[in-house]
Amino acid sequence: MALRISPITAQLGKLSIGNTTSRTSIRLASTTKRRKGERIEPSFQPGHGEKIYVFKHFLDGMTVYSHDPVLKANRAFRQIPFNGKKLRPAKLRKDYWRPMAMIQFPDGQGEVGRSVYQRLRECKKLHEYSWGDSVLYGEKGETLTTHDRGRRLNDQRANTIADMAAVLGGLGKGNKIVVGAAAEDTSGSEITVPTATEDDGKTLVQATVWWADGLDQNYAEKWSKNVTHHLFENAILVPTETATETATATAENAESVAAEI
């Protein structure tokens, strides 16, 4: 009597047999692991993290952080939680989003900026998922509907500005804006801080906040001494060396062509 083997069993048998080369390669790939205690440092472009851009939705008050001056939809959507039906935008309309502020750190302090960026994102997440009775009830004590509660959770402008003041003042474990915390992370090596300010017994890296509206900074109760404030409208455009060299080369080429003619 012949033994019948189902097609599924036959396929599993072929997979289990395989060839020696494929099984060897799989075994080698599975045994390749990171060494214990080994840390792989990420690579960043020069200057990455020296500036943190804060964008706001001028209708709903939603806020997002970015290292780029242009808001990117895929990264912005990761920072917008779902607080109710029709409360999370289906697509990013750039005409609804405007720059609210920009945090700038000294040249070469991108590591400090990335640390501040991480803690700002953590504070924002905490406001969105951990809230008290102020979100549940209205001014007269009435219970808010799901839609009204979601609209309150979406409006994070005041919380964002308060978080900026707190984090730039050294809030958060391992915040590298505190010079001591940055020195510990460098495994005993000395770090060079171009400008630092003493505030409440802590040495903080200097930071500059540029505002679209100067009145927004009043949402924070207190700003540490290492933070200075300016308006976007008072900024002076300084061309970079690359742009200057390109303009000079273009002018020289134009002069040479004119001389030949």
The pLDDT score that the predictor gives to residue 47 is: 87
pLDDT above 50: residue 112: yes
User: What is the arithmetic mean of pLDDT over 228-235?
Assistant: 92
pLDDT tier, 184 (very low <50, low <70, confident <90, very high otherwise) = very low
The whole-angstrom separation of Cα 82 and Cα 104 is 30
Domain boundaries, the chain: 51-234
Range with lowest mean pLDDT among 12-26, 104-118, 132-146, 228-242:
12-26
To the nearest 10°, the Cα dihedral for 10, 12, 17, 19? 100
- DSSP 8-class letter at 2: P
Alpha helices in the chain (DSSP H): 7-17, 20-31, 73-77, 110-129, 133-136, 146-154, 157-168, 179-185, 241-260
Between 248 and 174, the more confident residue is: 174
Phi and psi at 21, nearest 5°, equal -65, -45
User: What is the arithmetic mean of pLDDT over 174-195?
Assistant: 61
Tokens read off for 157: 């402008």
Please report, for the chain, how many H helices and E strands are present, in that order: 9, 7
Range with lowest mean pLDDT among 2-6, 162-166, 177-181, 237-241:
2-6
Between 90 and 42, the more confident residue is: 90
Tell me what percent of the residues of the chain surpass a pLDDT of 70: 70
Share the mean pLDDT of the chain: 79
pLDDT tier, 35 (very low <50, low <70, confident <90, very high otherwise) = confident
Burial class (CB in 10 A: 0-12, 13-18, 19+), 82: exposed
Whose tokens are 């951990």? That residue is: 130
The whole-angstrom separation of Cα 185 and Cα 55 is 30
What does each C-alpha distance from 214 to 101, 230, 235, 237 come to in angstroms? 9, 8, 13, 20
